[in-house]
Every structure is written in structure tokens, then in C-alpha cells.
Chains A and B, each alone.
Chain A
Amino acid sequence: MTLQLTDDQQALLAGASGPAVQLAMRLVTRMAAVTSAVSLLPITRAHVDGCLYHGQVSLDFARTLAEGGGVVRVPTTLNVGIIDLLHPELFRGPREVAAAGRDMMRHYRAMGCRQTWTCAPYQLVDRPDPGEQVAWAESNAIVFCNSVLGARTERYGDFMDIAAALTGWVPATGLHTDEGRRARVVVSVEGIPLAVQERDVFFATLGHFVGTNVAGMIPAIVGVPTATEDQLKALGAAAASAGAVAMFHVVGVTPEAPTLDAALGGRAPERTVRFGARDMAEGMAALSSTRSQRLGAVSVGTPHFSLTEFERLHALFAGRPVSEAIAFYVSTGREVLQAVADRGWEAELRRLGVKIVTDTCTYLTPILAPQPGAVMTNSAKWAWYAPGNLGYEVVFGTLEECVESAVRGDVWRDDALRALIEA
């Protein structure tokens, strides 16, 4: 069977809605052919990652679509851009890159996209319902959308995301279908005390392990009785960055996995992988690129910090200032920041020396000093990308360790947590 298009879809492909939609429809139909889809299905929302500047092509593409009359057909949110529009002075890169990035952001606005500028669109008040068919880009957003919200998206990337938004159509395949959402492997968490499972690093290292060991597949995770959205965010982001995982189930926790059998679609798993205390300890060690005690900066909020994470950060600082030797960065979305400001936490955190970055992220764009010394983070995704992208040495730890280290001015380790893991 080859791809069947309706008359309306054919008309878009023939240019009836202008050159921008025609180009977008060419991308959608070619992707459908590559993925062996036989039809297209309508989406109700889109989340666009293509608004991040990756070079001249990003700008050329956005301009071509905007000047070609492209307007989104469904409500469309924007992922991060290359600069913090609210705090542009934080950008340390070349001026022409900032200008190009700003220009590109203007084109996406002209096409009718909402100015959300966040990699965590699932933290917005208005977010997809379970079962909704959407087209989301950005690997952490994709995995959260499928796994935690129970809304359905394939792994859309740059160009395809806005193409879906401009046409309203995507290939009817993969994660949009019941069969495409079934778990094929089981990841069994064994011998890790619940007191350890409550910590952010448990979910980050489990996610990293999942990405490394079941890359590209959908796992059903058993042995994790409870998890918050923040914890599932950490799990998904790590699994997506280390191994292109676009969906996971946590049995008894995520919406499509009331039971293991339901997650597996009634079939036997192809294999079962165990995640134990040793895997966790090894994973935590592997995510640090240095054992240095000296620290120059701390970066949290990859993916963007949520309101509940800010609440916790505020409590952990407990009024103590960041050491003068340390630059402490938090990346978040502007909608969340507004809620943080409304509670009075933004002003207090800034007074303590915390630098808050919106609209972008510290692992994508030069915000930290060129030679910041080792950087501490509780994000497995940041730890995975920053050494290659930005050339930083990374110390991976819990949020508590990040805050204590920032207050003291050098790396502080939670020995009690390590004793619990190794017990």
C-alpha cells in the first residue's frame, strides 16, 4: 500500500494554500512515505523546536515559510530559542548570532505561534489531554507527552514540526497508533530502597540507563511504585538524550500502564533488563566527567524548572546566599517564572545570587562564562550534552548537593545518600 491522500490533502500539495503550505505538505508526505504510512491523520496542537537557531538554514527556512504566507492551523507552542528575550544581556555569543536568532523568532511569531519559549510545554497550564493527537518536537517534550500526558506524538524534529502545524496533518503511524505505543522490553528496578527512589538522581540515572540499554525502544518499567511529574521529566529527558527513547511506561504510574500486561499489549517482552543499586552507582559516576572538588558554576533546569522545583529550590537555599565563587543558573519557561514571581520567590532567589534564565537553556547557548571551572548539575541531559556542546567539565549530583555546593563554594557530597545506595 502506498500513501493515500484525500482531495483536500492533494490540493495542499499542489499549492492551493500557497507556497509555504505546499513545501510543508511535501515534507509531511515524504515523511509518510519513509515511515510507510498509508494515510495522514489530523492533529490538534503542535510544539515547534525549529525556532532554535542552528545556522543560516534555520533562518532561511523560517523566512521562506513566513514570506510564503504560512500560518499555523492548530494552536502551536514554541520551544527554546538561542537567546533569552526577557534577559538578553545573559547571552555571551556573537552579536550576529543573537540578531539572526531574534529574526527567526520573529518569523515564527508571524506564523501565529504562541510565545512560550519553553522545552517543557507540558508545564503550561493549557496542555494536551490523554489520547489527543499532536505533533511535538524536542526529545524531552516528546517522551513526556507520550509517557506522562498520554497524548500521542511521533518523534518530530526541526522542519517537520512547523510543517505539521502549517498543514494540520501528520503520517498515521508509529506512536500515533495503539500498536506503536506498546512496550517491547521490561526494565525491572530491583534492590533500590524507597528512600533512594525519592531522589531526583534516581530518576535521572534510571533514565540514562534506559536510554543506554534499550535505545530506541519503548520500555515498561516495573518496581517504581510512585513518581511525580518532575521525576518522570528527569527520567524521560535522560532516556531521550542517551538513547532516543520516545516513550516509556512506569507500571502503576503512567496512564497507559495500569498493569504490566496492559503496557505490553498482552504480549511477552522481548527481553528484561535489571536496574539495581550497582547500576545506579555506576550511572551516577559516569555522568560526572571530573572528580574535581573545585566548582565554578551550577546549572539546573534542563529541562526547564517547574513551579514545584522552584518551591523546593527556595526551601533548600533557606535564605543562604550563593557563594561568591559560584555562578548559579536556573533555566525555566516564562510562564513558570511568572508564577514564581507571583509567589515572591523570584525576587528572593535573585537576592541570594541565583541567576534565572528564560526562553533558552544553558546547554544550548553561551551563557555561562567561557571557562567556568567544573559545573554541577542534577540533570542527566545537561551532563550528557554540555561536555561536547560547550566543553565544560561536569559534576553530577542531587539538587540538594547542587545547592549545598553553591552555598559552600566547592563540591559537597551527600554521603548518607551514597551509603543508602551501597547498603
Chain B
Amino acid sequence: MMQARDVLVAGEARGPVVALSEPLSFWGGVHEREGTVIDVHHPQHGVSIAGRVLVMPSGRGSSSSSSVLAEVIRAGVGPAAIVLATADPILVIGALVAEALYGTVVPIVVLSPDDYARCASARELEVLPSGRVNLAQ
């Protein structure tokens, strides 16, 4: 059992983990209809984040990433939850707008470095509204 240092967006989600070794910019980095990583400079180019618990160090780059996160959530190809090592307001705004417009909640939490590392090597995670993060059995 792990407890988030910060609950940026509270909610409940569960899913297989996709762990990114580098920060990702949603804008220019994620396909808006397919939810795959399309940034050719990114080491995980080609993987899908749709329905996964996205574990990545932080967001990156463009201020348009809020829109792209909200759009993939709207299209049903967004991540189930996002687990970060560093808080990112741009992702939080995207998730909040998706929640306000479409009622879909994608929880976002920030973990300590140790817990973050455990999540990055986990297969499946569960995120609870309290900020509790469980390794799924």
C-alpha cells in the first residue's frame, strides 16, 4: 500500500501500468483518436496509454497538452489514471475540464520517489480517491 504525497485530481481507477522512462508532452506526443505515443523522440514511441495507469516522471513541453489530455479522455482513449513524480498543473487542468464537460474522472496523484519507482515496475495499479495506491493482485 502506498499513499500519494499529493492528490491532484481525486478519483478511483484501476488498470495495467504503462511506465514511461521520460516525460511526455501530450500535444504532439499522443495520438488524439488512438491514445498512442506518437512523439518520435520519445523512448516509448508507439505504446498505447488508453485505459492504462500512466506512470511517468512529469509532463513536458507544450501548454496545449491540457487540450490533448482532455480530448483523449473524451474520445475514450485516455489513461485510466496518471501517477507522477512531480506535480504538473497542465495535466491537472486537462483532467478537470474533461471531468466538468463529460463527467469522466481520471485521477492524478504524485508519489514519493520510492513509491514512484515501485509503481513504475508494477504490472497493474489501483488508485483510490483518498490517494491510496495499491499494487493490484
Contact = CB atoms under 8 A, between A and B. Distances in A.
B47 interface: no
Contacts of B39: 388
Contacts of A52: 64, 67
Given A34-B8, A34-B92, A157 B63 contact: yes
A380 B128 CA distance: 43
A49 B68 CA distance: 13
A13 to B, nearest CB: 14
B27 interface: yes
A52 B27 CA distance: 12
Interface residues of B, number: 33
Interface residues of A, number: 34
A389 interface: yes
Given A35-B89, A57-B98, A385 B28 contact: yes
Interface string B70-84: 110011000000000
B41 to A, nearest CB: 7
Interface of A: 23, 26-27, 30-31, 34-35, 49-50, 52, 54-58, 60-61, 64, 137-139, 142, 155-160, 241, 244, 385, 387-389
A16 B39 CA distance: 43
B28 A389 contact: yes
Contacts, number: 99
Given A30-B92, A57-B70, A58-B67, 9 more contacts: A26-B96, A52-B64, A58-B71, A157-B65, A157-B66, A158-B64, A158-B66, A159-B66, A159-B93
B67 A50 contact: yes
B19 to A, nearest CB: 20
B33 to A, nearest CB: 8
A55 B94 contact: no
Interface string B1-18: 000001010000000000
A422 B96 CA distance: 51
Given A31-B93, A55-B32, A244 B60 contact: yes
Contacts of B93: 27, 30-31, 157-160
A138 B63 contact: yes
Given A31-B92, A34-B8, A34-B87, A54 B32 contact: yes
B68 A54 contact: yes
A388 B41 contact: yes
Contacts of A23: 100
Given A385-B28, A388-B41, A156 B64 contact: no
Most B CB atoms within 10 A — which of A27, A34, A58? A34
